[in-house]
Copies of this chain bind each other. A is one copy, B any other.
Amino acid sequence: MTKIEAVDVVDLRFPTSLGLHGSDAMNPDPDYSAAYVILRTTDGPDGHGFAFTIGRGNEIQCQAIRALVPYVVGRSVEDICSDLGLLYRDLTHDSQFRWLGPEKGIMHMAIGAVVNAVWDLAAKRAGKPVWKLLSDFTPEQVVSLVDWRYLSDALTSDEALDLLRAGEPAKAAGVARLESAGIAAYTTTPGWLGYDDATVERLSIEAVQEGFTQIKLKVGRDLDDDRRRFAVARKAVGNDIRIAVDANQTWDVGQAIAWIDRLREFDPWWVEEPTSPDDVLGHRAIRSGISPVRVATGEHVQNRVVFKQLLQAQAIDVLQLDAARVGGVNENIAILLLAAKFGIPVCPHAGGVGLCELVQHLAMFDEVAVGGHHPDRVVEFVDHLHEHFVDPVVVRAGAYRAPSAPGFSAEIKPETLARFSFPDGPEWSTS
């Protein structure tokens, strides 16, 4: 029997604030960080996963993952990998840990990191990338991975089964399409708030040259700045390229509507995180107020219950799940199923460190087996920190190419783990 014999937790931080990469109206100086976890097995591959943070507090996130170690060490890898809902349910249903959320914040992200590491492990053992492992599951297997608590007023497991079964005949064609064309990406690289106009212009032009048909700009700190930068970007890319804007939660409801009204002339494709991610009713009001400009949110939405309500309330046009904020792959399957039921495209949040690597698998599973092909499904791409991954994303001609290596593409190179570990790695201790 193969067992999990140890769990390594690494506090990994990259000094990204130095270049103002990642700067936005809410987060002026992030140091992209990962609370990184390795499930060490007695035999065969290890499992890798992480929570993503932006610097201070990453040590708390690591501590939360360490608190889960007694649940994991000594367990049979065969048991865990033959029922991939098992550990997720055990962890989210521990009543004492649950008190610290419930199902939100640091504790939930810690569970997500461990659950994602289990998926990396299971996929490696199956010899498939996660997107393919999931796509090969039967509808019954997929439904068994979800925690259905709190969902039945919007979606029952029987409805989910029907939905997945209806998609079965098209799965093979979906895999073929994915392996030949990949899945559309958009880029946030030109739009960080800390960049000057010349940089915005240059990077916008480059994005189009690289084949992207959508870019995204950060907004929300200063309206005049936003109008000037948006004009620069619109001029640079022309009228056929979609430009989304992202306010990173800075506005109140009325303020969001008024601000977007002043950006309308530049034709924003969607407005992302116009207000608090907790504010379902606020998003609904903003959507009514800015239509036909779309409303997008999700990277800070804490769990399936809030996504359920965003969909029930018709508060969003675009659902932006995050791979590392909710309870891992399992909860994201619930979120994909909810979005499919309500007919809303899922355009995952990515960037940070490793989020592109993870979400590509979820978007590809969605494309093949859940929501099916959707013309507006685009996956965020940010060209940062991929060089640290063993199996980095490949984005060509504006599309993510389907990964073929077994696993979740989550594994960071050992030399990176050593160099950027905080506070003792050479990147931090010698500066």
What residues make up the interface of A, taking CB atoms closer than 8 Å to B? 26-31, 53-57, 59-61, 63-64, 67, 94-109, 149-153, 249, 252-255, 275-282, 285, 300, 302-303, 305-306, 308-309, 312-313
Question: Which residues on the B side are within 8 Å of A55 (C-beta)?
Answer: 96
Q: Name which residue of chain B comes closest to A28, CB basis.
A: B95
Q: Assess whether B252 is in contact with A278, with CB atoms less than 8 Å apart.
A: no
| Closest CB in chain B relative to A273 CB, distance in Å | 11
Q: Assess whether B300 is in contact with A281, with CB atoms less than 8 Å apart.
A: no
Expressed in whole angstroms, the Cα–Cα distance for A29 and B98 within the complex equals 13
| Closest CB in chain B relative to A313 CB, distance in Å | 6
Q: Assess whether B54 is in contact with A96, with CB atoms less than 8 Å apart.
A: yes
Q: Assess whether A276 is in contact with B150, with CB atoms less than 8 Å apart.
A: yes
Expressed in whole angstroms, the Cα–Cα distance for A109 and B300 within the complex equals 18
Q: Assess whether A96 is in contact with B31, with CB atoms less than 8 Å apart.
A: yes
| Closest CB in chain B relative to A401 CB, distance in Å | 30
Q: Assess whether A60 is in contact with B104, with CB atoms less than 8 Å apart.
A: no
Q: Assess whether A152 is in contact with B107, with CB atoms less than 8 Å apart.
A: no
A-B contact pairs, 21 of them (CB 8 A): A26-B98, A27-B99, A30-B95, A53-B99, A54-B99, A56-B97, A59-B63, A60-B100, A64-B106, A104-B105, A105-B106, A105-B107, A105-B108, A150-B252, A150-B279, A152-B252, A278-B302, A278-B306, A278-B309, A280-B281, A282-B309
Q: Assess whether B300 is in contact with A278, with CB atoms less than 8 Å apart.
A: no
| Closest CB in chain B relative to A232 CB, distance in Å | 26
| Closest CB in chain B relative to A18 CB, distance in Å | 15
Expressed in whole angstroms, the Cα–Cα distance for A31 and B106 within the complex equals 21
Question: Which residues on the B side are within 8 Å of A56 (C-beta)?
Answer: 67, 94, 96-97
Expressed in whole angstroms, the Cα–Cα distance for A308 and B149 within the complex equals 24
Question: Which residues on the B side are within 8 Å of A305 (C-beta)?
Answer: 276, 278-279, 282
Name the 8 nearest CB pairs between A and B, nearest first. Answer: A105-B105, A56-B96, A153-B253, A55-B96, A106-B106, A278-B305, A152-B252, A27-B95
Expressed in whole angstroms, the Cα–Cα distance for A314 and B149 within the complex equals 23
Question: Which residues on the B side are within 8 Å of A100 (C-beta)?
Answer: 53, 57, 60-61, 105-106, 109
| Closest CB in chain B relative to A287 CB, distance in Å | 13
> Secondary structure of the A side of the interface?
loop
Q: Assess whether B67 is in contact with A59, with CB atoms less than 8 Å apart.
A: yes
Q: Name which residue of chain B comes closest to A55, CB basis.
A: B96
Question: Which residues on the B side are within 8 Å of A275 (C-beta)?
Answer: 150
Expressed in whole angstroms, the Cα–Cα distance for A107 and B281 within the complex equals 24
Q: Assess whether B313 is in contact with A281, with CB atoms less than 8 Å apart.
A: yes
Question: Which residues on the B side are within 8 Å of A280 (C-beta)?
Answer: 280-281, 309
| Closest CB in chain B relative to A177 CB, distance in Å | 36
Question: Which residues on the B side are within 8 Å of A108 (C-beta)?
Answer: 105
Q: Assess whether A99 is in contact with B57, with CB atoms less than 8 Å apart.
A: yes
Q: Name which residue of chain B comes closest to A95, CB basis.
A: B27
Q: Which interface residue of A26, A64, A302 has the most chain B CB atoms within 10 A?
A: A64
Q: Assess whether B281 is in contact with A312, with CB atoms less than 8 Å apart.
A: yes
Question: Which residues on the B side are within 8 Å of A153 (C-beta)?
Answer: 252-254, 282, 285
Question: Which residues on the B side are within 8 Å of A101 (C-beta)?
Answer: 105
| Closest CB in chain B relative to A397 CB, distance in Å | 33
| Closest CB in chain B relative to A61 CB, distance in Å | 7
| Closest CB in chain B relative to A9 CB, distance in Å | 13
Expressed in whole angstroms, the Cα–Cα distance for A302 and B28 within the complex equals 25
Question: Which residues on the B side are within 8 Å of A54 (C-beta)?
Answer: 95-96, 99
Q: Assess whether A152 is in contact with B67, with CB atoms less than 8 Å apart.
A: no
| Closest CB in chain B relative to A146 CB, distance in Å | 13
